Structure 1
Amino acid sequence: MGRRTLAYALAAAGLAAFTAPSAFAQDKTEVAWGGSNPGGVMYYMVGVAGTELAKDLPDVNITQVTTGGSTENAKRLIKGELDMGIVYGSHVYMAQKPEGPFADGEKGDMLRGVAMAYEGPTYFVTLAGSGIESIGDLAGKKVALGPPGSGTVFNCSNILTALGLLDQIQPQMMTFADAGRALGNGQIDAFCQSSSPAAAVTELAETQDILVVPYSEEELASVSDTYPFYHTGTMPETTYNGVPATDMPYTTVYWVAHERVPKDVVQRMVEAAYKRQDALASGHKAWAQMKPDVENFEKLGVPMHAGAQAYYDTHQDASK
């Protein structure tokens, strides 16, 4: 081989070596996953999921999208602006009508179940000694209901409506973190929160004595009679510093995907999530509750995502 031929051969080999990685590189699948704003449970759940699942899925790029919470997540999924979201079961159900916050919008028949994320309580927080000792004491008070477009506003408004108090409070709309600071500074009298533990409440309880306002049995019955997608559950005493076990209205919250997300991507994300559930729960306690809950999700009017169903079909220990 002549010098010139050898030079060309070496150059070609060098070019091939340089271009080979890009030629064989695997394109990443982009997944935009809606949670909530900082201070909310969904925000931290999606954040830790993105970090943990990436360890097993180098070809999937999970982007945490800051949103107002469940209501906005569902609406943006329906519009195709998100690929996944943490969404209240009640919102999946209402989006099929559509009714409530989804009235006059497109039907949410593209929503698909991935897993039950957690069961979330709705409750009101005030400072000890504020004079608010029962739900009825919220009348006439400044109460933060959550950020606009959030599932918290939806749940808190439902609860107050069922108890005849919605038109008796002075509603404030603000983020969870802002509400915690506002209560601590005496700018509001109470704030409402859905799901637990919530960072805004945890942080406030570390510096001040708080009270999670108790519901009476009659009030809990009124809530579930008015809105059947709520059930009575007990928030454990270990949830917040100085707060005893408390009965309150609960609703089920789901990890939801748009039907367009590839089957294999969802299947592998679900597999990674169950494999790393302990690590997810270390990042946020709510992930400890994750389970299939297939039967209950399908009662909301849409099926499981094909990828999630494929995973559950091949894992006999997956509960219904």
Structure 2
Amino acid sequence: MKNLWIAGAVAALAVSSTALAQDKTDVAWGGSNPGGVMYYMVGVAGTELGKALPDINITQVTTGGSTENAKRLIKGELDMGIVYGSHVYMAQKPEGPFENGEKGTMLRGVAMAYEGPTYFVTLKGNDELTSIADLAGKTVALGPPGSGTVFNCSNILTALGILGDITPRLMTFADAGRALANGQVDAFCQSSAPAAAVSELAETQGVKILTYSDDELGKIGEAFPFYHTGTMPETMYTGVPATDMPYTTVYWVAHERVPEDVVKRIVAAAYDAQDTLAQGHKAWAQMKPDVENFEKLGRPMHPGAEAYYKENGLWPES
């Protein structure tokens, strides 16, 4: 009799465990590779939001960055991702890195993640490199394959007529930082800030951010309208003064299949914990709805995000 009771209890426990597992919602969230802003943003979010939402299993997915995130969202391989606004827009055509692929009609906005600058970094003691024009004839790391960084850096060098004059290298952000420190590349390109690879070099060896002229910034905006001029503050990296450079807006995007209530709860938890998220990575301090600008890219907000914003008076008046 005792053995039967034990067997029954074990069976009940197994059923209960199975039910709990079935009730847990898995969310695969794409960021970037180590050393990139998106990687750390998603890592911090997965840890903090998991505390508030124990029934939602947020898994950080290491990717090449924005381009790969958008492509994998379109294929249904990710539930969420950090994606450049330009990629959301181009995926609707589709054109650029999305040419000949499926249109990104399933992409839905969650929030503006941050505004990201694109800039070129060299060591502080490199007197040969001061401005972007000095990159001609140099070896430059453009970012990891499939990343938004490669996309942005290539666009900028194309607009300035320099892309064909450099020797490009594709590598992770961490590898690019080490390659610069070891003299294997003359400079590396980075999108978004602060970036761990740049911060580390700034603290240990000192870095220099190459400057853009007003004419160059104008050419970039004319060639690619999704860039706008902004100023990276002097507080971003040790020893680097405030610098004007091209910026692009980066969004937190979800696949349309993610249930409305799941997105709503994740968004609510993110705004409740925004200060904590920002302590984990500064970029989270910039999170806001930015509904109108996202919808100009050709896709609507996710119903879960929309419900949260409307309930909290954050939805724009029509």
Partner of 1:302: 299
Asked if structure 2 preserves the Cα contact closer than 8 Å seen for 1:146 and 1:153, the reply is yes
Deviation at 1:140, TM superposition (A): 0.3
Partner of 2:74: 78
Q: C-alpha separation between the residues in 1 aligned to 2:193 and 2:10?
A: 56
In the alignment, is residue 69 of structure 1 matched against residue 65 of structure 2? yes
In the alignment, is residue 36 of structure 1 matched against residue 3 of structure 2? no
Structural RMSD (CA): 1.8
Give the share of equivalent positions with the same residue, in percent: 76
CA displacement 1:148-198 (0-9 Å, x = unmatched): 100000000000011110111111111100000100111110000000000
Greater Rg over alpha carbons, structure: 1
- What code does the residue aligned with 1:166 have? L
Deviation at 1:21, TM superposition (A): 3.6
**Structure 2 residues without counterparts, runs of 5 or longer:** none
1:237 to 234, 237, 253: 234
| CA distance 1:190–1:263, shift in 2 (3 Å) | same
| CA distance 1:18–1:129, shift in 2 (3 Å) | closer
Q: C-alpha separation between the residues in 2 aligned to 1:143 and 1:15?
A: 61
Asked if structure 1 preserves the Cα contact closer than 8 Å seen for 2:292 and 2:316, the reply is no
Question: Secondary structure of 1:81's partner?
Answer: coil
Equivalent residues in 2 for 1:87-98, closer than 5 Å: 87-98=83-94
Partner of 2:217: 220
Q: C-alpha separation between the residues in 2 aligned to 1:267 and 1:219?
A: 42
Deviation at 1:12, TM superposition (A): 8.6
Q: C-alpha separation between the residues in 2 aligned to 1:149 and 1:9?
A: 58
Asked if structure 1 preserves the Cα contact closer than 8 Å seen for 2:291 and 2:315, the reply is no
Q: C-alpha separation between the residues in 2 aligned to 1:214 and 1:129?
A: 15
Partner of 1:119: 115
Deviation at 1:209, TM superposition (A): 2.0
In the alignment, is residue 22 of structure 1 matched against residue 17 of structure 2? yes
- What code does the residue aligned with 2:224 have? Y
CA displacement 1:30-62 (0-9 Å, x = unmatched): 111110000000000000000010011111111
Equivalent residues in 2 for 1:157-168, closer than 5 Å: 157-168=154-165
In the alignment, is residue 55 of structure 1 matched against residue 57 of structure 2? no
Q: C-alpha separation between the residues in 1 aligned to 2:198 and 2:3?
A: 69
In the alignment, is residue 200 of structure 1 matched against residue 197 of structure 2? yes
Asked if structure 2 preserves the Cα contact closer than 8 Å seen for 1:34 and 1:67, the reply is yes
Q: C-alpha separation between the residues in 2 aligned to 1:197 and 1:134?
A: 20
| CA distance 1:23–1:165, shift in 2 (3 Å) | closer
Asked if structure 2 preserves the Cα contact closer than 8 Å seen for 1:116 and 1:293, the reply is yes
- What code does the residue aligned with 1:88 have? Y
- What code does the residue aligned with 1:83 have? D
Question: Secondary structure of 1:55's partner?
Answer: helix
1:256 to 253, 256, 264: 253
- What code does the residue aligned with 1:31 have? V
Q: C-alpha separation between the residues in 1 aligned to 2:243 and 2:316?
A: 28
**Structure 1 residues without counterparts, runs of 5 or longer:** none
Q: C-alpha separation between the residues in 1 aligned to 2:316 and 2:243?
A: 28
Q: C-alpha separation between the residues in 1 aligned to 2:42 and 2:293?
A: 23
- What code does the residue aligned with 1:75 have? K
Deviation at 1:22, TM superposition (A): 3.0
